[in-house]
Amino acid sequence: MYFGSFFRLSNAHPFHIEILCIVWALNCINIQIASLFFRLKHLQWLNIVIALENEIPAQNIGNYIEFD
């Protein structure tokens, strides 16, 4: 197939269109991997916060500790 007119390219070789499609696909994969990485980092941060909440007794939350 020839996609030259679709991509607004004049006298574009089909090989160039194929490279454009490959680069576009790799870019999409890269975005998906980055999104997954940041989601995993966010979940890891949430797990740390939840673990800290479980370690701190509820009655101590909001109370000031006074030192002599």
- 1-41: per-residue pLDDT in tens? 455 555 565 666 777 778 888 888 998 998 898 888 888 88
59 pLDDT above the threshold of 80: no
Q: Which domain holds residue 48?
A: 14-55
CA–CA separation, 66 and 28 (whole Å): 55
Q: Give residue for tokens 């890891």.
A: 44
- Taking the C-alpha atoms of residue 45 and residue 63, their distance in angstroms, rounded to an integer, is 25
Of 19, 21, 2, 18, the residue nearest 10 (C-alpha): 2
Is position 41 within any domain?
yes
- Which pLDDT belongs to residue 11? 63
Assess contact for 1 and 9: CB atoms under 8 A.
no
Residue 49 has what pLDDT? 79
**Residue 47 within a domain:** yes
Q: What is the pLDDT of residue 6?
A: 56
Instruction: Report if residue 64 sits inside a domain.
Output: no
Domain count, the chain: 1
Residue predicted with more confidence, 41 or 66 = 41
Whether 5 is covered by a domain: the verdict is no
Model-level pTM greater than 0.95? no
